[in-house]
Amino acid sequence: MKLTRRAALSGIAASTAATSASALPRSKGAAYPVFASTWDFGVAANDAAVAKLAAGGTLIDAVEAGARVPEADLSNHSVGKGGYPDRDGHVTLDAVIMDDRGHVGAVAALEDITHAVSVARAVMERTPHTFLVGEGARQFALANGFGAENLLTPEAEQAWRDWLRTSQYKPVPNIENRAPGSINNHDTLGFIARSTNGSLAGACTTSGMAFKMHGRVGDSPQVGSGLFVEAGVGAATATGVGEEVVRIAGTARVVANMRAGASSGAACREAVEHISRLRGDALKDSQVGFLAMDRHGRVGAFALLPGFTYAVSGADGRSRIFRSPNLTA
């Protein structure tokens, strides 16, 4: 199904009520919790979330638990401890967490703290703010009991020193799954979830592009770009080249498409097609993908290039990996 922007806007115009999403009732849908996350390594994140919810945790607890898995995975070079540094040799982390009632917390350019998603949750719950960055985010984390540690592992440092020989900055499409099923290539974790009562939540965590400019922040921690959640409508997350997602407030656009009546998959496709039209040849060899879940827990995805995969939990709590459709198909 091809959803044009005109069709989406027509659907909005045809609506006879301007009911806010926060006023919508919880939806009946899947009779079991649904977790969806980006890339093959999302299976481990989903498993942790399922276990947390089964142990009596809230949906936000589960989402946080899932996001913490790749953050602690030293083989994961684009999330948390072990992430590749920026071009100055600093590992800087970005993360956001959000529920469907407007509660949100985010951090960016955070150094020395492994679990950026947990710091983001602390911002959400312990401050009047939604976003802390840089040294301010680090000071907040330390003041709230998060321990400081060196995030630059020997392997990541060696990769940085090797990169310095050429200093070539070129993101590699689908490096996350270069070897199918491999645990050695990863990207941002985008994570979205729905409870049995229809509540929605999500998180996104990353160390950003390897060898980025110091201070660079991509889409991941930005509400409406890397993640967006809206009660009664759905949730969406993004992956790939963050600058391209930011240009169109990608996940906010995907959720708006679902609000206008599009399925989760069609909503993702419209956003990808829009980026493609907008950027043209500037997108050559770049990957951008969206993953979305509607209010019933139905999951869809779409990407610019082949190779984007995502994991979705089922009624038995186990996750399956799916290949996203793409513009080249």
What are 237's strand-pairing partners? 227, 291
Distance CA 311, CA 329 (A): 20
Place of tokens 């498993």: 47
Place of tokens 């974790």: 189
- Residue 247, judged by CB atoms within 10 A of its CB (0-12, 13-18, 19+), counts as middle
For the chain, percent helix, then strand, then coil, each to nearest 5?
A: 35, 20, 45
CA-to-CA dists, residue 168 to 78, 121, 151, 172, 312, angstroms: 18, 35, 23, 12, 35
Distance CA 310, CA 35 (A): 11
The 3-state DSSP class for residue 222 equals: coil
The token pair at 182 is 């491999």
Q: Among residues 67, 135, 138, 70, which one has the least CA distance to residue 98?
A: 67
Is 188 in the active site?
Answer: yes
Distance CA 277, CA 142 (A): 44
Q: Phi and psi for 94 in degrees, rounded to 5?
A: -125, 140
Q: Which of 114, 153, 188, 205 is catalytic?
A: 188
Contact (Cβ atoms closer than 8 angstroms) between residue 111 and residue 90:
yes
Q: Which residues are catalytic?
A: 188
